[in-house]
Structure 1
């Protein structure tokens, strides 16, 4: 789709250039011929950039086919489901802790233990509360990206070779590439963390005794994953701006050549 759109754009520039040529307006026609040539040549540049971005993703340990917006969309949907699972497990862990505290506080004999448990799990429940909220919103964002990513790729790659629309195309393609890599990396680190997360079970006496340890371990695992996820998206934001600038620099260099 994107190659066809770029080819149509190049053809339109060439057609307008021919029209001006036959009308005797040679300077204007040469400008449109130049735009047509740049449109055709920049299709190659777009494919080179996609290839380089795929190599960067591979070096980051992310297996993602950036050439296929369908694969990227599927990855974003998996990320949405994984982020939601992380949020739910954080919530379930906090609910178990609070349920045990309420149970301990219900009798005079065990009520002092409720305060002890609150002190032992205060930091972990606070951390898990943050994890639950942030991962919930990341799940919504990933679901939205799974819908718009094919359009970002198609329009970005299609518009970028067209000189008068290259800035818009570069911005769309930069958002697609940087967000896709960050999303895939975040999916990977969160999935790794979830393999070690265990929600306490009411049927397990050991979990009632060691609830502070379980909550603490879950908080560390999910907190680390969330930190890496946040870092990935922060770098993606900066990288997206850098990619757009790089695209513009490549275009300027192309014109000078």
Structure 2
């Protein structure tokens, strides 16, 4: 559909479909593995790489926008499912094969219900969110990249900044995703988010030094409470604004 909307010739539509499928599968694996190692979604990084390759292949702007959305959606979905299924596996550790299969079936049903709810919510509130300019910062990066294309020094700048990013990632190790975390920090416009992370790390280091490793479970529970509270507030405040 993206190829037809962009009025591409048949051979380019075929290339577009094949590349979109390939990009989605590859980014799912990369994002999923990174999420398992670090708990972090490098979705915007691999999506940007897919976008740049799409530019090199000569896809028009409409097709590139659809490709970006499609690729960006598949990676986090895979990582989320990985989290959910892995959590269920850890909870059922030591259970029989029948219990394991039954648990997986229930988790799959829950995931499908979640997909259904997500589709309804996006249908109801997407336009309202866009009208309020509630757009993730990285989306502006994608838009500027598509608008600029490979003209001027955009491609050169991307290549140059990829070098220190790769070095930072190498120093941090594959399980720490340091390069991705740094890039995320550069995209977030609210400095208090960075301070909040630093305070959290300081609290963690202090508690472990004072109370030892056994305090980790308590911190995990506390972190879960913070995440739940943050999610509930964000959800209901967004609903209130969108009403």
* TM-score normalised to structure 1 length: 0.26
Q: Which has the larger radius of gyration?
A: 1
Relative contact order (alpha carbons < 8 A, sep ≥ 6): 1 or 2 greater? 1
TM-score (norm 2): 0.27
